[in-house]
């Protein structure tokens, strides 16, 4: 048993090589409606166009003729037709003749009643195998090995007369062919001899007369043959060559081929000359369909695992809308009828191309092409549909019409932004399959990116000019941009009118600002059918009069912990009289001390307790006509130097001054504590004596570093100081790295010495 078509791995390899395209192809060229036939075996098929019936014979050893409709549905089973093989339809369509190999007869079946009307005996052992109608008679090929011959039946006589031995010399019963397009012509060919002979007889006289006889040297046997509808040629399925031969009917000379595959075994020719060439091909196509005299097939068919094409297994519906094909196993068993729709309809392809993007309301053009392996005449209608967000189910556009080359143009003016898909479809006809294609265009408005130019500064009450440009022109004449402005008087902004946009996208704005400070201009374009909206802003610094602002304090240096009074003074302004006073201790955070409206004298007073050197700032935010201003004042803060004497034994007063009394053997000591903590920094000690009516410095110590608690001490020896009056003080001197406080003297501490 022969293997069918391709192996699984080969099929996988084929699939791996497939790619997808954007071309719209036609649907399958055929619809294989496979219907198992209720026959033990298959032999021949015949089409009855008047009743739209198909007749199937079951061959040697069987006795059934099956009748179905064009869809393969059984209409009638005609039994007792022993060994029915060849079938032929009478010229008037009223009778089907069947060669009964096992019945030694020709059966005549009424095509209306589907009953056998007559049975014509051909003689015992005649074994007829083929039958044909032409020249007013029914011809049949009969005979066993080495005794093939041709007989005839004259059905016009009553009773009908059967004539044998009219054309002998055949090895076995020859296969016959005739056609109304070639009246009086009968073809006979060997079906059991290789290479075979083909003979053309003239039977117009009622007796076969040899016209041409040809030996088909490159063939095996003649499995099937049919005369073309124009009566000019005969097409042969001869088994051996890899093509179906075409011979001229006049002299049986070569007139072309229809390429197929190995073992051609069937041929059927439609009324328009279309040729269905079938082969018993295990690993290739089963059927090739050609237009007359064309070398490239319109369509091909591969029945896959359904079996191989049976000999004489092809026939056309009269209107050529369907091709009937029978497959079976190698023995003719398990026959299946395949009804192939639109066999002459060649695959069609639509292409559609255009720009990737476009803008709304602008006309768009797409170019397309309709092609087919079977030429398509100009003037074909191509349906066009647009699908977008506004028409998700599609909206029909005017049909496109193809030119002589199959080209066409689709024009449209899309109005909806987003993905827009254009679908084109060709309905096809009896010679061309339908096809579809689509193309998507992104519809989007153009960006109207705005550039805006303005002066950085301008004088209040003087006219200034801003210019701008919108990108991606041109623009429709008369379009405008909206203008808004923010200034000190209008923090939320306010409209100041419109400006006209030129067709090139340019515009000019004039304004005379009355408010000083930042004037921010915002220009907005709302967009149009083609352009998106856009916005741009620019700020112009409009001049203001300088503001007079000062800040003073009630002192320049303060004791530690003292409260400073800062007074801000604001001169003439327009509509702003608010001032803020800030204090920023050295190394600390700037703190708002007070905000308020200055008094009738232009003053604002604030108090602030000091602990460090401090910068006071007065800030005026400005108003519509006067500029912001800031004034500063730096004040200094002393440390707290706490002093105590130790080592004395009593106290006394000289006048109102308290003196500590020391014994001359004691050691006078001045103890110092500095606040805030100044650990590691210096204190100096100075000693003075009173004489000659004044205080005179006796000594000043070097630096004594304060300890971690910010304390220290200085002392003086008293052995030579009896009856003297003295005083001593400490001075804190700030480090060069410490600017938080200024150097500070402690108070004088008075003492005297006694023996």
pLDDT at 14 over 60: no
State the Cα–Cα distance between residues 277 and 271, nearest whole angstrom: 15
pLDDT at 586 over 70: yes
Q: Mean pLDDT over residues 175-200, rounded?
A: 95
pLDDT at 19 over 70: no
Q: Which tokens in the block code for residue 191?
A: 């079906």
State the Cα–Cα distance between residues 434 and 517, nearest whole angstrom: 74
Indicate whether 358 and 338 sit together in one domain. Answer: no
Start-to-end CA distance of the chain, whole Å, equals 151
pLDDT at 306 over 80: no
**For residue 146, what pLDDT band results from cuts at 50, 70 and 90?**
confident
Query: How many C-beta atoms surround the C-beta of residue 319 within 10 A?
Result: 10
Indicate whether 386 and 338 sit together in one domain. Answer: no
Residue 70, in any domain of the structure: no
State the Cα–Cα distance between residues 743 and 674, nearest whole angstrom: 11
Q: Mean pLDDT over residues 332-351, rounded?
A: 93
Indicate whether 277 and 337 sit together in one domain. Answer: yes
State the Cα–Cα distance between residues 390 and 417, nearest whole angstrom: 9
User: What was the pLDDT predicted at 699?
Assistant: 93
State the Cα–Cα distance between residues 187 and 211, nearest whole angstrom: 10
Indicate whether 296 and 391 sit together in one domain. Answer: no
What is the total residue count of the chain?
755
Residue 325, in any domain of the structure: yes
Q: What is the pTM of this model?
A: 0.62
Q: What is the CATH number of the domain that holds 437?
A: 2.60.40.730
State the Cα–Cα distance between residues 180 and 103, nearest whole angstrom: 28
Q: Mean pLDDT over residues 357-361, rounded?
A: 94
Indicate whether 557 and 607 sit together in one domain. Answer: yes
Residue 398, in any domain of the structure: yes
Query: How many C-beta atoms surround the C-beta of residue 90 within 10 A?
Result: 14
Over the stretch 538-579, which tens digit does the pLDDT of each residue have? 999 999 999 999 999 999 999 999 999 999 999 999 999 999
User: What was the pLDDT predicted at 11?
Assistant: 28
As a whole number, the mean pLDDT across the chain is: 93
Please calculate the CA angle 277-282-284 and round it to the nearest 5 degrees.
Answer: 60
Indicate whether 308 and 380 sit together in one domain. Answer: no
Q: Which domain holds residue 230?
A: 223-344
Q: Which tokens in the block code for residue 575?
A: 């509509």
Give the gyration radius of the chain's Cα atoms: 61
Q: Mean pLDDT over residues 95-107, rounded?
A: 98
Q: Which tokens in the block code for residue 62?
A: 């069987």
Residue 493, in any domain of the structure: yes
Hunting for tokens 């319109």 — which residue is that? Answer: 298
**For residue 24, what pLDDT band results from cuts at 50, 70 and 90?**
low
Phi, psi of 379 (to 5 degrees): 90, 15
Indicate whether 361 and 334 sit together in one domain. Answer: no
Chain centre distance of CA 210: 72
Over the stretch 507-528, which tens digit does the pLDDT of each residue have? 999 999 999 999 999 999 999 9
User: What was the pLDDT predicted at 601?
Assistant: 97
User: What was the pLDDT predicted at 283?
Assistant: 78
Residue 389, in any domain of the structure: yes
State the Cα–Cα distance between residues 140 and 120, nearest whole angstrom: 11
Indicate whether 730 and 666 sit together in one domain. Answer: yes
Indicate whether 374 and 310 sit together in one domain. Answer: no
User: What was the pLDDT predicted at 250?
Assistant: 96
- Residue 41 contacts residue 31 (beta carbons within 8 Å): no
Indicate whether 614 and 650 sit together in one domain. Answer: no
- Element spanning 11, H or E: helix 8-16
Structural domains counted in the chain: 5
- Residue 612 contacts residue 588 (beta carbons within 8 Å): yes
Domain boundary among 636, 656, 671: 636
Domain boundary among 590, 619, 636: 636
Within 342-390, strands assigned E span 348-353, 357-358, 364-372, 381-388
Residue 258, in any domain of the structure: yes
Strands 749-754 and 657-663: parallel
Q: What is the CATH number of the domain that holds 300?
A: 2.130.10.10
Task: Please report, rounded to a whole number, the percentage of residues in the chain having pLDDT higher than 70.
Answer: 96
User: What was the pLDDT predicted at 9?
Assistant: 26
Cα dihedral 55/60/61/65 (nearest 10)? 10
Q: Which tokens in the block code for residue 530?
A: 């083609």
pLDDT at 5 over 70: no
Residue 468, in any domain of the structure: yes
For 265-297, b/e burial (b = at least 16 CB within 10 A) is bbbbbbeebbbbbbbbbbeebbbbbbbbebeeb
Hunting for tokens 């020896």 — which residue is that? Answer: 717
Q: What share of the chain is helix, strand, coil (3-state, %, to 5)?
A: 0, 55, 45
Over the stretch 380-435, which tens digit does the pLDDT of each residue have? 999 999 999 999 999 999 999 999 999 999 999 999 999 999 999 999 988 888 99
Q: How far is CA 661 from CA 393, 629, 649, 690, 716, in A?
A: 117, 60, 6, 15, 14
Domain boundary among 512, 538, 564: 538
Residue 676, in any domain of the structure: yes
pLDDT at 8 over 90: no
Q: How far is CA 660 from CA 3, 349, 642, 650, in A?
A: 137, 125, 17, 6
DSSP 306: G
Q: What is the CATH number of the domain that holds 572?
A: 2.60.40.1930
Indicate whether 735 and 686 sit together in one domain. Answer: yes
pLDDT at 744 over 80: yes
Indicate whether 307 and 395 sit together in one domain. Answer: no
């Amino acid at each position: 048993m022969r293997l069918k078509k391709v192996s699984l791995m080969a099929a996988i390899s084929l699939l791996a090589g497939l790619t997808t395209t954007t071309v719209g192809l036609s649907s399958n060229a055929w619809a294989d409606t496979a219907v198992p036939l209720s026959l033990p075996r298959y032999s021949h098929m015949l089409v009855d166009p008047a009743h739209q019936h198909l007749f199937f014979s079951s061959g040697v050893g069987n006795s059934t003729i099956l009748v179905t409709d064009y869809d393969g549905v059984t209409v009638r089973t005609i039994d007792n037709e022993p060994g029915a093989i060849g079938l032929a339809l009478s010229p008037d369509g009223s009778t089907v003749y069947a060669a009964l190999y096992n019945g030694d007869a020709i059966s005549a079946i009424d095509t209306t009643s589907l009953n056998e009307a007559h049975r014509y005996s051909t003689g015992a052992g005649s074994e007829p195998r083929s039958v044909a109608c032409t020249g007013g008679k029914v011809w049949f090929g009969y005979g066993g090995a080495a005794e093939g011959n041709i007989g005839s039946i004259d059905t016009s006589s009553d009773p009908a007369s059967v004539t044998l031995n009219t054309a002998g010399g055949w090895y076995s019963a020859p296969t016959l062919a005739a056609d109304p397009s070639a009246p009086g012509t009968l073809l006979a060919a060997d079906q059991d001899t290789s290479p075979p002979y083909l003979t053309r007889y003239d039977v117009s006289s009622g007796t076969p007369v040899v016209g041409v006889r040809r030996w088909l040297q490159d063939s095996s046997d003649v499995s099937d043959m049919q005369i073309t509808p124009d009566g000019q040629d005969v097409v042969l399925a001869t088994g051996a060559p890899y093509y179906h031969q075409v011979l001229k009917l006049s002299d049986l000379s070569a007139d072309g081929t229809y390429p197929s595959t190995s073992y051609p075994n069937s041929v059927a020719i439609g009324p328009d000359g279309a040729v269905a060439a079938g082969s018993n091909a295990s690993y290739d196509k089963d059927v090739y369909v050609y237009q007359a005299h064309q070398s490239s097939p319109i369509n091909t068919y591969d029945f896959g695992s359904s079996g191989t094409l049976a000999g004489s297994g092809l026939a056309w519906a009269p209107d050529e809308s369907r091709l009937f094909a029978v497959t079976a196993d190698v023995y003719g068993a398990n026959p299946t009828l395949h009804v192939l729709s639109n066999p002459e309809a060649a695959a069609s392809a639509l292409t559609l191309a255009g720009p990737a993007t476009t803008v709304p309301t602008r006309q768009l053009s797409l170019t397309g092409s309709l092609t087919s392996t079977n030429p398509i005449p100009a003037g074909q209608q191509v349906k066009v549909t647009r699908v977008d967000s506004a028409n998700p189910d599609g909206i029909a556009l005017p049909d496109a019409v193809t030119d002589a080359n199959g080209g066409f143009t689709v024009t449209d003016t899309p109005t909806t932004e987003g993905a827009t898909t254009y679908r084109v479809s060709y309905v096809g006809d009896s010679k061309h399959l339908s096809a579809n294609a689509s193309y998507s265009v992104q519809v989007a408005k153009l960006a109207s990116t705005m550039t805006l130019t303005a002066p950085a500064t301008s004088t209040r009450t003087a006219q200034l000019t801003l210019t701008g440009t919108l990108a991606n022109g041109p623009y429709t004449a008369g379009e405008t941009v909206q203008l808004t402005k923010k200034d000190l008087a209008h923090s939320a902004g306010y409209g100041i009118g419109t400006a006209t946009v030129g067709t090139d996208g340019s515009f000019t704005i004039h304004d005379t600002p009355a408010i000083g400070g930042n004037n921010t201009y915002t220009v907005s374009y709302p967009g149009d059918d083609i352009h998106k909206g856009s916005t741009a802003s620019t700020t112009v610094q409009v001049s203001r009069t300088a503001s007079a602002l000062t800040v003073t304090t009630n002192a320049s240096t303060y004791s530690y912990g003292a409260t400073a009074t800062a007074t801000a003074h604001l001169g003439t302004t327009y509509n702003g009289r608010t001032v803020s006073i800030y204090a920023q201790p050295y190394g600390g955070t700037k703190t708002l001390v007070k905000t308020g409206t200055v008094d009738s004298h232009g003053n604002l007073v604030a108090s602030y307790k000091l602990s460090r050197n401090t910068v006071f700032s007065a800030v005026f935010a400005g108003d519509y006509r006067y500029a912001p201003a800031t004034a500063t004042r730096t004040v200094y803060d002393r440390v707290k130097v706490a002093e105590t004497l130790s080592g004395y034994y009593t106290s006394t007063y000289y006048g109102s001054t308290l003196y500590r009394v020391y014994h001359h053997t004691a050691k006078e000591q001045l103890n110092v504590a500095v606040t805030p903590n100044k650990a590691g920094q210096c204190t100096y000690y100075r000693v003075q004596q009173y004489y000659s009516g004044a205080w005179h410095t006796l000594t000043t110590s070097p630096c004594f570093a304060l300890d971690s608690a910010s304390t220290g001490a200085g002392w003086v020896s008293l052995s030579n100081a009896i009856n003297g009056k003295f005083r001593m003080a400490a001075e804190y001197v700030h480090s060069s790295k410490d600017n938080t406080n200024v150097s500070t003297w402690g108070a004088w501490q008075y003492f005297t010495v006694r023996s």
